[in-house]
Amino acid sequence: MFHKEGFKIILISFIITAISFLLIDKFVSIYWLQKLLQIGILVLLVLILQFFRNPKRQTKLNDSQVISPVDGKVVVIEEVFEKEYFKEKRLQVSVFMSPINVHVTRYPISGDVLFSKYHPGKYLVAWHPKASEENERTTIVVNNNTYGKVLYRQIAGALAKRIVNYAKVGDKAIQGTDAGFIKFGSRVDLFLPLDSKIKVKLNQKVKGGECVIAEA
């Protein structure tokens, strides 16, 4: 199953692959070079297909838990001052996604979308300390009556050139459902209440829509 954000790119990739095979057959006479080029093109096609995959996840709805919004590796767990929305200290948990990870962004918790803003910016590597403030990004705040307000930030990486955000102010977020997509390498930051019980560790691999990041 593929994400809708990839349909156009996947179609174009299949067309380019087909044309490339025809051109190679016609103009490349050396057999080993012909096969090498064809294998290389197929590898690129497979990489594109796996990048836009959208596997189903079994989310167990729980208003007392924050789940990972994306697949990836936990790279930050620390207390920070969140200055865009809360303007106070929060617990930050960041998940880095490599190009081979699923790049669907899912709502980490159910509730009302209170804030949603897009910021144009740079394309520093996603793990750069200033990426959260200087890269292209979106900031979304969901209010859950049980857990409280949760802010998550989609951050573009060095390869990512487009962030897709479905969350709009006034929307009803449902935990685990599609909230957006980031194309080609990126990171998502979560900003949680200070009394949250963190359930993950640094360098732990997490699965979006299923892995519990924190509990109230």
Which entry of 68, 94, 116, 186 is annotated as an active-site residue?
186
Give the C-alpha distances (Å, rounded to integers) separating 158 from 47, 106, 162, 175: 18, 22, 11, 28
In DSSP notation, 203-216 reads: T-EE-TTTSEEEE-
* pLDDT tens, position by position, 168-184: 999 999 999 999 998 76
According to the model, what pLDDT value does residue 120 have?
87
In DSSP notation, 131-149 reads: HHHHBSEEEEEEEETTTEE
What does pTM read for this prediction?
0.85
* pLDDT tens, position by position, 72-98: 999 999 999 999 999 999 999 999 988
Domain ranges of the chain: 4-51, 65-215
Q: CATH fold of 65-215, please?
A: Glucose Permease (Domain IIA) (2.70.70)
* pLDDT tens, position by position, 91-126: 999 999 887 888 899 999 999 999 999 998 776 665
186 is catalytic: yes
Decide: helix, strand or coil at residue 45: helix
Nearest CA to 151 out of 90, 206, 81, 70 is that of: 90
C-beta separation of 189 from 155 below 8 A? yes
Give the C-alpha distances (Å, rounded to integers) separating 55 from 47, 105, 153, 173, 209: 16, 12, 22, 20, 10
